[in-house]
Amino acid sequence: MLPDLPFPGSTLGAVADRARATADLPDPGAPVADLVMDSRRVRPGSLFACVRGARSDGHRHAAEAVAAGAVAVLADRPDRLPADLGVPVVVVPSVRAVLGPVGALLAGDPADRLRLATVTGSNGKTTTSTLLAGVLDRCGLVTTVGATFGPHTRSTALTTPEAPDLHRLLRWMVQRGAASAVVEASSIALDMGRVDALPAEVAVFTGFEADHLDHHGTLEQYWASKAELFTPDRTRAAVVVTDDPWGRRLADQARVPVTRVGRDADCDVRVLLGISDATGTEVLLVHDGRRHLVRTPVVGRVHVTNVAAAWAAAVVLGCDPETVRDRLAVVLPPPGRNTLLSAPGSPLVVVDYAHTPAALAAAVSTAADLRPCGRVHLVLGARGARDRWKRQGLGEAARAADEVWLTNEGSHGEDPAAIVAELAVGLLGSDARVQTVLDRREAITGAVDTAGPDDVVLVVGRGHETLLQDAPGQVDAATAVRFSDADVARSALGSGRRRAAC
């Protein structure tokens, strides 16, 4: 692996210009190495950004940053800084609003050397991003799962990293020879400016349903945040799945050229047929009067439009349609997205990231399709301290399963039993057999052991994640419990009693 090259950095004067700050700097030519938001990550030569958040205010940590070697401070509330800070202060109306431009400058504007695509949507972002990145030449990828370029990987704490970290990742990719990149853009990231100074050649919209309302407040605000990605200052073109009213609205209102994808007759890339089984998904498309049969190892009918959107985005980027078809056929799905696990004489286990009512309904339907003569055993939980309103909807979507194991998915300080009780409300009157096993390992193991060889055990909510967070503020391996749904399921399959198939 190549070593990380130092950032090109810049000067304090250039930072002030990029931030559009009016600053009386004693030495505008003073070198600045990088942009840091966390005082604990400051190194000599850093510019410390005083970001105000829900739980902390960076202005209160400015002195710590200076003591660690920060050569200047970026602030929007200078009155909250110590009077004798001892380094230049670059004052702007909003620190968060300039993190993208300044982070890009100090990283050497890596986005200018890449063909960029961005992907947003309530569900399917990671799968669509992975498919598209697998088609493009020398392409880096930033998703919920992490950042990758070829054999190189980097972990990411957020679906879309903070702007300085994102530009740092893009530089890391450029250093290793990347010519293009696909970035998953969450609605919260768009709200928080994390994809600022990231001009894309194409932006993709995979679909929409209510989510993250604990952050956005209303469904309209949530949609508006996603729609912000489809403006001329963020992308040159759009690929929009129009199978729901929100997608059609976006396609009508976007101020960039739009390629419509979906099942309607007026779509530019029309889905004529989509089928899926345990070996993958096959989609028949028509574009410019020509039919294209596309196959991918990704499992689940829910991914039909994701495959179509990835194909369309690659074509918009100038790729040959047949080349796109051939490359999609060998792109491996991201981990934790309908990941299939099996063992002789045991049920099929599906591990998926589904965490919204519509995504869960699709996951249960996919599980039923995989073993039509068997039963679906669903292991279901919900995250604590977020989106409490959707728990009943998850319970309602779970009614399509035959057996439901309600369990902890990471309570983040809430009472796990109370979370499960809210899920159970949606299951009232259901024909499904429902039981509560709060220990997630026991729930997964119990579901696998109970299911027959013709059955499917569907474990949802966490997908690829490997940390189970129960206490407030747990964010890393130092404070959270290491836990992988797939590893627990493999262990259960390996130790479970063997059963004769019907």
pLDDT of residue 502: 39
Residue 222 has a CB neighbour count (10 Å cut-off) of 23
Contact 110, 174 (CB under 8 A): yes
pLDDT of residue 479: 55
116 pLDDT band, cuts 50/70/90, is very high
Q: How is residue 21 written in tokens?
A: 């700050």
| pLDDT tens string 336-381 | 999 999 999 999 999 999 989 999 999 999 999 999 999 999 999 9
Token look-up 């009943």 returns: 392
pLDDT of residue 480: 67
CATH assignment of 110-328?
3.40.1190.10
| pLDDT tens string 117-174 | 999 998 899 999 999 999 999 999 999 999 999 999 998 877 789 999 999 999 999 9
Q: Whole-angstrom Cα distance, residue 356 to residue 397?
A: 9
Give 349's strand partners: 341, 457
Residue 372: phi, psi to the nearest 5?
-60, -30
Contact 369, 301 (CB under 8 A): yes
Whether the pLDDT of residue 494 is over 80: the answer is: yes
pLDDT of residue 95: 97
CA dihedral 457, 463, 466, 468 (to 10 degrees): -80
Q: Tell me how far CA of residue 20 lies from CA of 74, 97, 320, in angstroms.
A: 12, 11, 42
Residue 155: phi, psi to the nearest 5?
-80, 150
Q: Whole-angstrom Cα distance, residue 101 to residue 92?
A: 13
| Domain extents in the chain | 10-106, 110-328, 339-495
472 pLDDT band, cuts 50/70/90, is low
Q: Beta strand pairing status for 280-287 and 269-277?
A: antiparallel
Name which of 2-16, 34-48, 57-71, 370-384 the model is least confident about: 2-16
pLDDT of residue 190: 87
- Length of the chain in terms of residues written: 502
Whether the pLDDT of residue 499 is over 80: the answer is: no
Q: How is residue 385 written in tokens?
A: 């301290």
Which CATH class name applies to 10-106?
alpha beta
Comparing C-alpha atoms, which of 41, 19, 164 is closest to residue 88?
A: 19
- Please state the CATH superfamily assignment of the domain spanning residues 339-495 in this structure: Mur ligase, C-terminal domain (3.90.190.20)
- For CA atoms 30, 34, 36, 41, give the dihedral sign: negative
SS (H, E, C) 438-497: CCHHHHHHHHHHHCCCCCEEEEECCCCCCEECCCCCCCCCCCCEECCHHHHHHHHHHHCC
* Mean pLDDT (whole number) for 485-494: 95
Radius of gyration of the CA atoms of the chain, in A: 24
Residue 192: phi, psi to the nearest 5?
-95, 5
Contact 321, 289 (CB under 8 A): no
Q: Whole-angstrom Cα distance, residue 242 to residue 424?
A: 33
